[in-house]
Structure 1
Amino acid sequence: MIDPRIKLRHLTCFLEVARLKSVVNAAEVLNISQPAASRTIQELEQVLGGSLFDRSKRNLFLTPFGEVFYRYAATSMAALRQGIDLARGTHEAAIVRVGALPTVSARILPSAVQAFTATGSGVHTRVVTGPNDYLLTLLRTGDVDFVIGRMAEPDVMLGLSFEHLYSERVVFVVRPGHALLSERSFDLSMVENYQTLVPPPGSVIRRLVERMLVANGVTELRDEVETVSNAFGRAYVRQTDAIWIISEGVVAEDIADKHLMLLPVDSSETTGPVGLTTRTDMVSTLAAESLKQAVRDAAASLR
């Protein structure tokens, strides 16, 4: 028997605090007071007999004890939500929810969704985009059925499975007519003289980019703008001299149409696997499997 002192409100509050790393923000989302949220977490810790969060920093982070409980609590809540939706035959049961990095949203997902829709199954598709860590959180809590993106670090992949689809590098792009395009002896250090658009800290490719820049003697980028918005990046670079450091898939069509141009940077060391991430403890619906196959078919042309 599960300890009857553990209520649904305990699990819901715990998962929100873990997701947002803040009791205040979780309380706002749950529409309860901050003291009530804090009390709920304390009650849960007393029942479990251990601290769930490290409170020594500004943001709350899960303790090792909390990490273990989080994986099982998230899985349980996701399974319960799925069971309720299927039993009720609700609208949510007729939706395949996919989390996708901006790069795959632009490169392979449109053709995959088009092919999936053409099957006439009547199942709708919900696409959620964002950074990798955010999407994996949604996967663990059951808010998406699977994620398409870069493979995360091994310590993050516990309880998750990765299926490789293709590999992708990071590129440096500028507007047509940019001064650096006419440099006969281009060197990566020249990017220090221009404003740069970069992915935010914590993203998978940010670490790869930083490692590459340091290896080539670039110690500081000028006037960094951190963004995950493709629309902003595309518009900003086309009207300024800024350099956009981004996954190739995001700008592949812009480069093919010559709306953006590649700088002659050897970025092969940033190449990494892109694929499907799923939970090992959940059985996919037939519709989710059908969309995953459409994604595989779309990605096959990139190999």
Structure 2
Amino acid sequence: MDRRIKIRHISAFVEIVRQRSLKRAADQLHLTQPAISRTLAELEEIAGKQLLLRGRAGVSLTPEGEYFLGFAQQSLVALERGFSGVAAAGGEDATEIRVGVLPSVATRLMPEVAAEMAGLDRVRLTIADGSHEHLTTQLRSGQLDMVLGRLGAPETMRGLSFTQLYLEDVAVVVRPGHPLLEEPDLRRITEWQVLYPPPWAAIRPFVERLLIAEGIPRPAWRIETVSGAFGRVYARQCDAVWFISAGVVASDIAEGRLARLPIATGGTEGPVGLMTRAGEAETPEQQLLRRAVDRALETLEAFLAAP
């Protein structure tokens, strides 16, 4: 390896890509803009290739930069793990494992996973939620160790591996007593306000295809959200029709707080699974989490199969 390359070169490159701006990256790293520009220029000189394109709209990766990014992110993750391991060795601190969870997993599977891991000594579980794009970006950058959720579009899965756990469909839910429950007909949803997945949501393409198949236009009177907290309250207080991953509202339906419309949504099924950085060996803590996920799935499947 070229001895001229330093950690500051890698950190600056990764942060510029993350922020899509030299100025914002400089602010995050407490550098001046000329300093971070000089650091990037040094890295590109060492690489012998241009890694980033600069323009009025910000910065973007060249093909060479796209190739280099994954290795740069992995090197920073490896260093962080190494320092964390040294700090924890022989001490009393628990080893942290950071997991990102998408909405359907957060309410259905993750509580069981956390319960499975509760008795493990010296392993501290940290759980983050958010959109698919946000969590996979954090996973690639090393801020998360694993992500549990729906498989996203190919462009969102760059540099990641995916292990399928189960399939999940989209539910169309309303408050108990909603007029649509008396005469369920998907074509009538435009008579009410619709809670609809935003463009970056993993379930959006599935909902779009469902409506196209039924000849239904995208509802004009809609709120775009996949927020479980907002959707639960708003759907119960109003006559809104809510498109959401079935796992998000499974307990609400079981306990009678929401009702699922008896409408066929089989075409909306998508894989839910475990995401990790591609090409990396799993740490012992990640292996513990994977086993906890498997046991939690067995518990859920046994519960769902019970009469």
Q: For this structure pair, what is the TM-score category when the shorter chain's length is used for normalisation?
A: 0.7 to 0.9
Q: Secondary structure at the match of 2:199?
A: coil
Q: Please say if residues 94 and 122 of structure 2, whose CA atoms lie closer than 8 Å, have aligned partners that are also in contact.
A: no
Q: Please say if residues 136 and 157 of structure 2, whose CA atoms lie closer than 8 Å, have aligned partners that are also in contact.
A: no
- Whole-angstrom CA distance in 1 between matches of 2:170 and 2:231: 14
- Displacement after TM superposition at 1:33 (Å): 4.4
Equivalent residue in structure 2 for 1:204, among 186, 191, 202: 202
Q: Please say if residues 132 and 202 of structure 2, whose CA atoms lie closer than 8 Å, have aligned partners that are also in contact.
A: yes
Seen in structure 2, the aligned counterparts of structure 1 residues 189 and 26 have a Cα distance that, compared at 3 Å, is farther
Structure-2 residue corresponding to 1:163: 163
Structure-1 residue corresponding to 2:143: 143
Structure-2 residue corresponding to 1:107: 108
- Displacement after TM superposition at 1:127 (Å): 0.5
- Displacement after TM superposition at 1:52 (Å): 3.1
Q: Secondary structure at the match of 1:45?
A: helix
Residue identity opposite 2:177 in structure 1: G
Residue identity opposite 1:262 in structure 2: R
Q: Per-residue CA shift, 1:135-193, capped at 9, x if unaligned?
A: 2222222222211111234455454322221110011111112222222xx33222223
Q: Please say if residues 171 and 248 of structure 1, whose CA atoms lie closer than 8 Å, have aligned partners that are also in contact.
A: yes
- Structure 1 unmatched ranges of 5 or more: none
Residue identity opposite 1:99 in structure 2: G
- Whole-angstrom CA distance in 1 between matches of 2:77 and 2:238: 45
Q: Secondary structure at the match of 1:203?
A: coil
Residue identity opposite 2:63 in structure 1: P
- Displacement after TM superposition at 1:56 (Å): 5.6
Structure-2 residue corresponding to 1:2: 2
Residue identity opposite 2:18 in structure 1: R
- Displacement after TM superposition at 1:46 (Å): 4.2
Residue identity opposite 1:71 in structure 2: G
Aligned counterparts, 1:131-280, within 5 A:
131-154=131-154, 156-183=156-183, 186-280=184-278
Structure-2 residue corresponding to 1:124: 124
Residue identity opposite 2:271 in structure 1: P
> Normalising by structure 1, what TM-score?
0.88
Structure-2 residue corresponding to 1:286: 284
- Whole-angstrom CA distance in 1 between matches of 2:206 and 2:58: 25
Q: Please say if residues 226 and 244 of structure 2, whose CA atoms lie closer than 8 Å, have aligned partners that are also in contact.
A: no
> Normalising by structure 2, what TM-score?
0.87
Residue identity opposite 2:123 in structure 1: V
Seen in structure 2, the aligned counterparts of structure 1 residues 265 and 27 have a Cα distance that, compared at 3 Å, is farther
- Structure 2 unmatched ranges of 5 or more: none
- Whole-angstrom CA distance in 1 between matches of 2:236 and 2:264: 22
Residue identity opposite 1:148 in structure 2: L
Q: Please say if residues 108 and 248 of structure 2, whose CA atoms lie closer than 8 Å, have aligned partners that are also in contact.
A: yes
Q: Please say if residues 193 and 222 of structure 1, whose CA atoms lie closer than 8 Å, have aligned partners that are also in contact.
A: no
- Displacement after TM superposition at 1:225 (Å): 2.2
Structure 1, 80-89 or 282-291: larger mean CA deviation: 282-291
Structure 1, 39-48 or 139-148: larger mean CA deviation: 39-48
Residue identity opposite 2:109 in structure 1: I
Q: Secondary structure at the match of 2:272?
A: strand
Q: Please say if residues 116 and 296 of structure 2, whose CA atoms lie closer than 8 Å, have aligned partners that are also in contact.
A: no
- Whole-angstrom CA distance in 1 between matches of 2:21 and 2:221: 29
Residue identity opposite 1:101 in structure 2: L
Counting aligned pairs with the same residue, the percent is 43
Q: Secondary structure at the match of 2:271?
A: strand
Q: Count matched residues.
A: 299
Q: Secondary structure at the match of 1:254?
A: helix
- Displacement after TM superposition at 1:267 (Å): 1.3
